[in-house]
Amino acid sequence: MGSGYLFPTTFQKEVYSDLTGERGVLMGALAGIMDAQYEVLRANGHSPSEAFNETVEELTQSLIRLVDENGMDWMYSNCSATAQRGALDWRPRFKSAVLPVFHWLYDRVASGKETARVLESTGGPNYQELLGKELAEMGSSEMWRAGKATRALRPKEAAKAISADTKGVGGRSEN
């Protein structure tokens, strides 16, 4: 249910995990983390393109594809020493910073407050107009304008052929 494969669950657990996931890592947390890192890089003199590359582009264009194919454990074992230290040294700090937020979020989902928020915000006669304004504000931020410019620079050539010898395509069976 809600996945490329089946797993045992209940309707309630699927609803709670789906709503928590959408508001958490999948959308809310990822958007907030990207905004925060981009803002810090810009405040410290990095150009919009550099800040966007380090915040979004490397994640979406390389790392997430490798994680999808091989898993996060493989990524930790096969990244640079500086990236490994980043995971080992900073994971606990980020976890302790966001764990209370996830507990609060899950409680809001379980109590129905998140569903009430969606129904309240989408039920008004001017919902589409208000949504358009909120999305335009996010989409017109400097970070996402830099992203649009970056995506326009990506090569339009076809992807290179991948063979069995290409590093990273073997999946977990080789790890």
Distance, CA of 31 to CA of 19 (rounded, Å): 16
Give percent of the chain with pLDDT exceeding 70. 89
Query: From CA 24, how far away is CA 130, in angstroms rounded?
Result: 22
Residue with tokens 């358009």: 132
pTM (predicted TM-score): 0.79
Q: How far apart are CA 150 and CA 57, in angstroms?
A: 8
Q: Show the tokens assigned to 158.
A: 């076809």
Predicted local distance difference test score (pLDDT) of residue 1 = 52
- How much is the pLDDT for 175? 42
pLDDT digits (tens, 9 = 90+) for 16-29: 999 999 999 989 99
Beta strands in 19-167 (DSSP E): none
How confident is the model over 104-118, as pLDDT tens digits? 999 999 999 999 999
User: What is the Cα–Cα distance from 94 to 155, expressed in whole angstroms?
Assistant: 34
